[in-house]
Amino acid sequence: MLLNNVVFDFDGTLVDSLQDVLDSLKLAFEKCGVTVKAYDTGKIMQLQLRETIGAIAPGITVKQTDQVIGRFREIYDSIDYPNTRLMPTVAELLPKLRERSVGMFIVSNKRTVPTLRILDKFNIRRFFTAIYNHDMNAEKTVSKRDMIVHVVEKHHLQKELTVYIGDTEVDVVASKESGIRSIIVSNGYGNPSTFKIKPDRVIPKISDLLSLY
């Protein structure tokens, strides 16, 4: 596999942020006085925030949802991410890709503020040429597919030499719709065996990317 550029998903691919997201979400519901009977951790990391809230609190109103979203963002953006960790072998992969002059980018549905704060927590922002989040456009939410297209066009990347690496079926769909190859890490939040749309490759851990080219 020829490879000059890697576009990374964030949560479940580069970092495991589930516990901090879950703790912040629980606190947001509590602060807003909304009772939730059960938390589906799988949905929390695979859906957009509004969809997540609706899935775990089916009877919630639009007004309550907006309140929970606002409170969640206040809480999550201000914590020190004590339970967030780099995914296994990320720390060894990034410098090796840089040694090989591979261009590295991030495209994520996570918002910009927590993404950058977490990158700085682990001192890895320096490895990435550019970082794109779904709130990059102040006027509207940008889809993952559109962000990947933007990266390819803005940075003049050759599609046949570029891959998108993520952990969910959403990542597979976004990469295929944008015309680049998809790689899934099987130790993330998704279960590749259940995907209806299959990636080009599945690897057990992210550093296995090095053996593909």
| pLDDT at site 1 | 62
Rounded average pLDDT over 21-27: 96
pLDDT of 37-75, one tens digit each? Answer: 788 777 788 878 898 899 888 889 999 999 999 999 999
Phi/psi for 181 (5° steps) reads: -70, 155
Instruction: Report the share of the chain in percent with pLDDT over 70.
Output: 99
Confidence check: pLDDT of 141 > 90? no
DSSP secondary structure string, 104-158?
EEEEESS-HHHHHHHHHHTT-GGG-SEEEETTSSTTSPPPHHHHHHHHHHHTT--
Strand (E) or helix (H) holding 52: helix 49-56
Confidence check: pLDDT of 17 > 90? yes
In this structure, what token pair is assigned to residue 183?
Answer: 């790689």
Rounded average pLDDT over 10-23: 97
Average pLDDT over the chain reads 94
Confidence check: pLDDT of 3 > 90? no
CATH number of the structural domain 5-16+84-212:
3.40.50.1000
